[in-house]
Structures are given as structure tokens and as C-alpha cells.
């Protein structure tokens, strides 16, 4: 049993359909077309033209559903009524040794099929060109219509804008005129107010000047009265000062007399103090003489009252002090007072230092 060769016819039809497709194919369709062309070239290289092929009683149709998933994705869609027929896995697996030789009938059938495919492709291309021209004309008319509509809309918009601008200018002019009138009215009102204010200011100034003059006159009278009062007060103060001065002179005279009396009393007191001091000095001299006498008696031989007398020792007399006799007598009198408890130790040493510090 001989297997008809369908792959060549299918490839030719697919190539014709691919040549008639427009240039707006997707990248997947273009890749499928290139793959089919490569497969066709490979089959032509494997099966030389000298091998006869028996014409099949009826061309076996290969459906798209019988293809493998890979060939289904690579197969481009139908274009302009021409469906591309892929090579089935069944026919592609048959080697050149298994195919029957082709005869003249198969060649004629193939030629007719090729002619018919080219005619259909040309008709499809003509229909496509006509449709494309009609679409372009329609698009051009629609673009022209849109341009006309846009021009009319622009014209209407410009007209409306001009009318709006005219209305706006008129309203602006009316507003400016109204503002000008209001400004003039405000200026008139302000001028009247300024005039009234100046008049009131002049009247107020006149009243103020009159009040100031009256106040100055009153102040002058008050100043004169105050000056009279001050003159009377000064006269009275001078009189009182003279009287006070006279009283002060009398008081000073009295104080002077009292001072003189006090000076006389003090002189009398000083004389009494000098007499008392002289008496005290005489008593001190007397006591000093008694002390010296007692010391002389104590210094006699056989007297056992002095310290060390019981041991046969004699008291040594103190050497005379390198001071004047008057100072020495005063120091002896001071010592006698101290021994009789008439002076405290502090008073004794203070008075003794004062006596020794004298020239």
C-alpha cells in the first residue's frame, strides 16, 4: 500500500498563504512562518524530484487538532480565508523509502493546486488591499470630519471667548466708572470732613488760647499773692531770728558764766586734790620711813625675825633703784597701798608702769 505525499502540497499552500499575509503579523506568527519554510527546505532536500509519487485517490485532510502542542502553537492563524495546513506527525515520520513514486497525474494535480493557491492568494491580497484602501479612505473622511468639527468648535470657542471678553471689558469699564464715582464721592466727603475738622480745630484753639490767658492771669495773681505772703513770712522770720539770736546771746552769756563757775569749782577741786595728794604723799613718806626703820632694826645682829636668821644667815639689803628719789618714794607708797589691799593687782601694775614711764 502506498502512502500519498501530502506534505509537499501542504507546505506549498502554507508558503503561499504566508506570502500573502500582511506585514502586521505578530512575532509568534513570523517565527512559525520561518519554521515552516525551513521544514519545507529540509523535505525537499531529503526527497529528490526523480522519485515518482503515486497519486492518492483522495487527499488526506490533516486537522489542526491532530497536531502536537508545539506545532499548534507555532501555526499562525488563518489570514484572508486561507488556512495554513501544518505537516502532521504521521506523514512527517514517513521516510523517503516508504513513499510511493509520483506520476504525471500527481504533478498535474500539484500544478493545478499551485495555480489555484496562487489565484486565491492574489484574490485574497486584492480583497485585502481593497479593504485596506476603503479603511484608509474611511479613516481619512473621519479625520476630515473630526477636523471640521474641531474647526467649528474652535471657531465657536473663539467667538464665545470674544463675547466673554467683550462682556468682561464692559463690566470692568462699568466697575472702574463706579469705583471712580465712589472715589470722587469719598474725596468730597473727606474734603467736607477736613474743612469741618479745621473749623472745629480753630475754634478749639481759640478757646484754648482764651483759657490759657485766663489761667496765666490767675497764676500771676496767685504768684503775687504768694509773693506777698512770702514777704510777710520773711519779715516774721527775720524778727523771730533776731529774737532767737538775742536769746542765744543771753544763753551763751549764761553758759559762759556757768563755765567760769565750773572752772572755779574745778580749780578748787584740783587744789583739794593736790592737798589730798600731798597729804597722801606725806603719809606714804612716813610709812616708807617706818618701813626703812623696821628693815634697819631687822638687819641688826642677833635679830632672828628675818628669814634664815635661825640658820645664822643675815638679810642682804636691796641695792638702790636707778630712779629718782621722788619716783622711788611714790613706788614705795604704791606698794604700801597694794600690801594693805587698797589696790588690785591690775591697778598696782598700771600705776607702777605709769610712774616708771614718767621722765
Per mean pLDDT, which of 95-104, 151-160, 285-294 is the most reliable? 151-160
Mean pLDDT of 295-307: 57
Closest CA to 330 of 292, 298, 283, 269: 283
CA dist 246 and 333 (Å) reads: 55
Among all chains, which residue has been given the C-alpha cell 505578530?
Answer: 26
DSSP assignment of 50-94 equals TS-BPPPSSPPP--GGGS-HHHHHHSPPPBTTB---PPPHHHHTS
Q: When comparing pLDDT for 146 and 283, which is higher?
A: 146
Which range, of 10-19, 34-43, 181-190, 225-234, averages the lowest pLDDT?
Answer: 10-19
Question: Using one digit for the tens of pLDDT, what is the confidence trace for 44-66?
Answer: 776 554 444 444 443 333 344 44
Question: Using one digit for the tens of pLDDT, what is the confidence trace for 2-25?
Answer: 444 555 666 666 666 555 555 566
Q: What Cα–Cα distance (Å) separates residue 305 from each residue in 311, 312, 332, 336?
A: 11, 11, 22, 20
What is the model's pTM? 0.22
Sign of CA dihedral 104, 109, 112, 118: negative
Which range, of 96-105, 184-193, 257-266, averages the lowest pLDDT?
Answer: 96-105
CA dist 248 and 246 (Å) reads: 5
Mean pLDDT of 281-299: 73
Supply the DSSP symbol for 311: G
Q: Is the pLDDT of residue 108 over 60?
A: yes
Which range, of 8-12, 34-38, 335-339, averages the lowest pLDDT?
Answer: 8-12
Residues 6+ apart with CB under 8 A from 43: 7, 8, 11, 87
pLDDT of residue 50: 44
Closest CA to 119 of 86, 85, 87, 81: 81
Closest CA to 23 of 125, 111, 117: 125
Domain positions in the chain: 7-102, 323-359
pLDDT of residue 215: 93
pLDDT of residue 278: 80
Q: What Cα–Cα distance (Å) separates residue 302 from each residue in 293, 305, 306, 313?
A: 17, 9, 10, 10
**34: confidence class by pLDDT, cuts 50, 70, 90:** confident
What 3 state SS string does 237-295 have?
HHHHHHHHHHHHHHHHHHHHHHHHHHHHHHHHHHHHHHHHHHHHHHHHHHHHHHHHHHH
Mean pLDDT of 304-333: 67
Closest CA to 36 of 67, 4, 81: 67
Amino acid at each position: 500500500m502506498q502512502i500519498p505525499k501530502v506534505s509537499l502540497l501542504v507546505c506549498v499552500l502554507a508558503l503561499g498563504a504566508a506570502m500573502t499575509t500582511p506585514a502586521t503579523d505578530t512575532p509568534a506568527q513570523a517565527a512559525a512562518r520561518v519554521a515552516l519554510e525551513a521544514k519545507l527546505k529540509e523535505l525537499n532536500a531529503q526527497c529528490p524530484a526523480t522519485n515518482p509519487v503515486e497519486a492518492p485517490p483522495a487527499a488526506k485532510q490533516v486537522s489542526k487538532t491532530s497536531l502536537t502542542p508545539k506545532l499548534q502553537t507555532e501555526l499562525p492563524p488563518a489570514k484572508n480565508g486561507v488556512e495554513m495546513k501544518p505537516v502532521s506527525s504521521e506523514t512527517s515520520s514517513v521516510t523517503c523509502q516508504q513513499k510511493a513514486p509520483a506520476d504525471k497525474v500527481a504533478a498535474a494535480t500539484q500544478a493545478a493546486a499551485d495555480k489555484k493557491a496562487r489565484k486565491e492568494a492574489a484574490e485574497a491580497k486584492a480583497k485585502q488591499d481593497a479593504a485596506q484602501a476603503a479603511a484608509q479612505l474611511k479613516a481619512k473622511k473621519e479625520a476630515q470630519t473630526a477636523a471640521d468639527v474641531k474647526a467649528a468648535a474652535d471657531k465657536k470657542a473663539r467667538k464665545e471667548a470674544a463675547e466673554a471678553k467683550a462682556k468682561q471689558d464692559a463690566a470692568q469699564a462699568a466697575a472702574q466708572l463706579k469705583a471712580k464715582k465712589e472715589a470722587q464721592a469719598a474725596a468730597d466727603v473727606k474734603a467736607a470732613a477736613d474743612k469741618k475738622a479745621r473749623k472745629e480745630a480753630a475754634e478749639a484753639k481759640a478757646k484754648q488760647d482764651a483759657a490759657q490767658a485766663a489761667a496765666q492771669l490767675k497764676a500771676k495773681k496767685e504768684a503775687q499773692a504768694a509773693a506777698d505772703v512770702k514777704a510777710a513770712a520773711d519779715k516774721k522770720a527775720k524778727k523771730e531770728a533776731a529774737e532767737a539770736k538775742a536769746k542765744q546771746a543771753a544763753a551763751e552769756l549764761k553758759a559762759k558764766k556757768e563755765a567760769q563757775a565750773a572752772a572755779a569749782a574745778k580749780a578748787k577741786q584740783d587744789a583739794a586734790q593736790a592737798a589730798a595728794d600731798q597729804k597722801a604723799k606725806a603719809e606714804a613718806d612716813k610709812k616708807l620711813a617706818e618701813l626703812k626703820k623696821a628693815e634697819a632694826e631687822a638687819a641688826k645682829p642677833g635679830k632672828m625675825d628675818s628669814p634664815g636668821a635661825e640658820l645664822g644667815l643675815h638679810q642682804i639689803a636691796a641695792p638702790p633703784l636707778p630712779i629718782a628719789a621722788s619716783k622711788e618714794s611714790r613706788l614705795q607708797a604704791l606698794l604700801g597701798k597694794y600690801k594693805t589691799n587698797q589696790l588690785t593687782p591690775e591697778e598696782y601694775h598700771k600705776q607702777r608702769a605709769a610712774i616708771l614711764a614718767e621722765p
